[in-house]
Amino acid sequence: RFSSEESTRLSSDNAMVAKMGADDASVTAVMSAADLSLTTRVSDEESVRLDKDGSLETKIDADISTEASSRVSGDASLDKFLMH
């Protein structure tokens, strides 16, 4: 009778260990997939932001260049006006 109980407990323990191992593997697989998904999304966002930052820098540089050119032209015009 004791041997039978011991055998049953051992069998149940082994089943529990197997179930826990399978659950751990399942959780690990889900977490790995979620990590990969998040990594992909962050990478995509970084690419878009980098592209937009470059576009913004180009626009700002062009605006600054246009303003600088206008100021030089305006200064020259003012100098010419004041000389007369």
pLDDT per position as a tens digit, 34-61: 999 999 999 999 999 999 998 989 999 9
- DSSP 8-state secondary structure symbol assigned to residue 71: H
Give pLDDT, residue 4: 87
Give residue-wise pLDDT tens across range 30-39. 999 999 999 9
Mean pLDDT score across all residues of the chain: 90
Provide the whole-model pTM: 0.44
Instruction: Report CA-CA distances (Å) from 9 to 1, 4, 20, 49.
Output: 12, 9, 16, 59
Distance CA 43, CA 51 (A): 12
R_g of the chain, CA atoms, integer Å:
36
How many residues are recorded in the chain?
A: 84
